[in-house]
Structure 1
Amino acid sequence: MFARSTPTSIPDPPPSAAPSLRRAWSAAPAAAAIALITLLGGSGLHAAEAGARAADPVDAMIGFATVNALGQNGTTGGAGGPTVTVTTTAQFLDHIARPGPYTIRVSGRITLPTGSNDGMYDVASDKTIIGVGSGAALTGGGLNIGLPVDDDVTAPPANAVHNIIIRNISFSGASDDMINVQMFSHHIWIDHNDLSNGDDGAVDIKRGSDFVTVSWNRFHDHDKTLLLSHDEDAGPQDIGRLRVTYHHNYFDASDQRHPRVRFANLVHVYNNYYRDNSYGIASTYNAGVLVEGNYFYSVNNPGRVDFSGDLGRIVQRDNILVDCNHPIETRGTVPDPRTYYSSTADPASSVPTIVPAGAGVGKI
């Protein structure tokens, strides 16, 4: 059904490279590539590429959230419904729970109380939640996108939550997750947010959820960042689903799970900037992950397929590793996500410039 993708070989070193480096390249190309980048000054940036983007617009929706599937043609959020501006907790919680499409503009700082639900508040289908300016914030709690957990449900229900856009909001201090997507929710776009200091996950996607894009977010001062599938018993709900695109996110000294994946049918991780993390990507339980055009700086383990459980699959191409202790582990083959949607990766060398400049709040 899908075109097969195979790892792209590392290109030959430039003619100007020293003979010793060219010999090293032949013996161990991955290590030699890292050495060459270090010799070029550590960043791998070329003057012609610095500050330039050659590919998709910063403000565009790209990836699995754009796909026509499950009765939803892409992700439109609250388009076609009323637009409201909320400034209080009561107004915010009222409007995110209403049926029908709404565009909800968040103005200023809103506190989500812990209450009896551990601070997690349900978002109904067909909503755009977007911050006004650079000061919109949700603190103390998080957003839940999905029906209540039911392990006996193993196919998308007719009333699955769907068509949600969350953009340009700072999340911090959540007593549980900051954003949780569960129970076959689909067509979700999480874009240009700032997420920090949550108690559990920053963005967790699990229990059969599908067709999600997580783009241009900044994650910092946080431990467990991106979980994709919640545990090793989740196969009945997750196998063949969890199609997620992660692109142009800034993992700014966040610790782990960028993402940590089980079972997922196909995950596209491209053009993200990893800086000072314990590990980048972990693929387990036969999950398929394409790791493409990312820049890893000071990451102990950039990508793993042998990580707590059954082996996963990773295909990697055109990534840059600087001051990393291990290479990206690869295994198996992965379908090409461009079977589903169009995207063009930026050169990995430009990622340290374009991603911090474009990720997070106040950029759209």
Structure 2
Amino acid sequence: MAYVVHVHNPHWKGRTRMRTQRLIGPAAAGGSATAVTVSTLDAFKAAVGGGSVKVVKVNGLISLSGQVDIGSNTTVLGVGSSSGFTGGGLRLKKVTNVVIRNLNISKAVKTDAITVQGSTKVWIDHNSLSSDRDHGKDYYDGLVDITHASDYVTVSWNTFKDHYKGSLVGHSDNNASEDTGHLRVTYHHNWFDNVNSRIPSLRFGTGHFYDNYVVGAETAVHSRMGAQMLVENNVFRDTQVAVTTSRDSDVDGYANLRGNDLGGAATEASRTGTFTSPPYGYTAEPASTVVTSVTAGAGAGRI
């Protein structure tokens, strides 16, 4: 089966293709591209460059040093449950229409597992992303970082495990001129397990965070620098602060909370904001079923 990227991200364009409680995203089976299967770093680099429509299947675990740039109109799809990358990650820089799916990416030293920079219409789905907590918090960078006015990004059904800084959206308090009006992101049905913070941390943008399972965080959702967040039907366990809008930046963010199971976690929502209705159709399952759904369905090998 091949996956070809559409020219829209349905989470922000209102044309969602949905299999109930399993999958929402901008890709569809079939299309004009014939899949290419690779198992070496050189073959992978050659396959993912350029802007032509393409499907690249990764078979096996490939060692990286640093990051590999992914071109526009590209689907990268892991074969089976254990294919992917170790030691480095993937970078989407100034590209559009990209799917990253069913990959294991671990221990990306001094870089992100996945960087989305100045890019639009991106779907990151059913990946297993991890490092370890045996080193200092800056030994690894982020697992999924979305910066420089990236837009229309959906992060769904992934596992984030054993890491300090999970997912940064907006890299600097001083980047309002570029980021304002962009950084529209959706996170749903992800499992954050032993991730310390940035689940996610959002500056300037608009974020919908629903049906996620968060275990063992110090601070989870962090809205700052005027960002608008809708935090809906999530489950938090062994977490100190589920949502904050008032830390680390000169300007607070906004957060609307509804239907969450906080599990005893604190909230620090200083401002509520106006983002209550996402501009797309979706079905949020109740928090009471999230743990079962997410633990059974998130991560590589579960598509």
Same fold (TM over 0.5): yes
- Are the aligned partners of 1:76 and 1:164 in contact in 2 as well (CA < 8 Å)? no
Q: Which position in structure 2 is the counterpart of 1:227?
A: 168
Q: Which position in structure 2 is the counterpart of 1:60?
A: 24
Q: TM-score, normalised by structure 2?
A: 0.87
Q: TM-score, normalised by structure 1?
A: 0.73
Q: Which is higher, the Rg of structure 1 or of structure 2?
A: 1
Q: Which position in structure 2 is the counterpart of 1:318?
A: 259
Secondary structure at 1:357 match in 2: helix
Query: C-alpha deviations, 1:63-87, integer Å up to 9, x for none?
Result: xxx5xxxxxxxx5699422211111
Distance in 2 (CA, whole Å) between partners of 1:279 and 1:131 is 31
Q: Which position in structure 2 is the counterpart of 1:150?
A: none
- 2:53 aligned with 1:106, yes or no? no
Q: Which position in structure 2 is the counterpart of 1:125?
A: 72
**Shift, 1:312, TM fit:** 0.4
Match of 2:46 among 73, 94, 97: 94
- 2:119 aligned with 1:180, yes or no? no
Match of 1:202 among 143, 149, 152: 143
Q: Decide which structure has greater helix share.
A: 1
- 2:123 aligned with 1:189, yes or no? yes
- Are the aligned partners of 1:78 and 1:103 in contact in 2 as well (CA < 8 Å)? no
Distance in 1 (CA, whole Å) between partners of 2:161 and 2:123 is 20
Considering only aligned residues, what root-mean-square deviation do their CA atoms show, in Å?
1.7
User: Superposed, which structure 2 residues align to 1:249-264 within 5 Å?
Assistant: 249-264=190-205
Higher relative contact order (CA 8 A, sep 6+): 1
Specify the code of the residue in structure 2 equivalent to 1:166: I
Distance in 2 (CA, whole Å) between partners of 1:197 and 1:259 is 17
- Are the aligned partners of 1:82 and 1:101 in contact in 2 as well (CA < 8 Å)? no
Distance in 1 (CA, whole Å) between partners of 2:285 and 2:21 is 11
Unmatched tracts of structure 1, length 5 or more? 1-54, 67-74, 148-160
Specify the code of the residue in structure 2 equivalent to 1:146: K
Match of 2:37 among 85, 95, 102: 85
Query: C-alpha deviations, 1:167-218, integer Å up to 9, x for none?
Result: 11000111211100112x1000000000011710100001100001000000
User: Superposed, which structure 2 residues align to 1:1-364 within 5 Å?
Assistant: 56-61=20-25, 66=26, 79-112=31-64, 114=65, 119-147=66-94, 161-175=95-109, 176-183=111-118, 185-197=119-131, 199-264=140-205, 266-309=206-249, 310-324=251-265, 326-327=266-267, 329-338=269-278, 340-364=279-303
Secondary structure at 1:277 match in 2: coil
Taking a change above 3 Å as real, the CA distance of residues 336 and 96 of structure 1, as seen in their structure-2 partners, is same
Q: Decide which structure has greater strand share.
A: 2
Query: C-alpha deviations, 1:259-314, integer Å up to 9, x for none?
Result: 011111x2100000011111110101110000000001111000001111111000
Q: Which position in structure 2 is the counterpart of 1:42?
A: none
- Are the aligned partners of 1:194 and 1:219 in contact in 2 as well (CA < 8 Å)? yes
Query: C-alpha deviations, 1:24-56, integer Å up to 9, x for none?
Result: xxxxxxxxxxxxxxxxxxxxxxxxxxxxxxx83
Distance in 2 (CA, whole Å) between partners of 1:314 and 1:60 is 23
Specify the code of the residue in structure 2 equivalent to 1:241: H
How many residues matched?
A: 276
Specify the code of the residue in structure 2 equivalent to 1:322: G
Specify the code of the residue in structure 1 equivalent to 2:57: R
Q: Post-superposition, which runs of at least 4 consecutive aligned residues in structure 1 deviate over 3 A?
A: 75-79
Specify the code of the residue in structure 1 equivalent to 2:81: S
Distance in 2 (CA, whole Å) between partners of 1:287 and 1:192 is 26
Q: Once the two structures are aligned, what percentage of the paired residues are identical?
A: 39
Distance in 2 (CA, whole Å) between partners of 1:144 and 1:188 is 12
Taking a change above 3 Å as real, the CA distance of residues 277 and 301 of structure 1, as seen in their structure-2 partners, is same
Taking a change above 3 Å as real, the CA distance of residues 78 and 99 of structure 1, as seen in their structure-2 partners, is farther
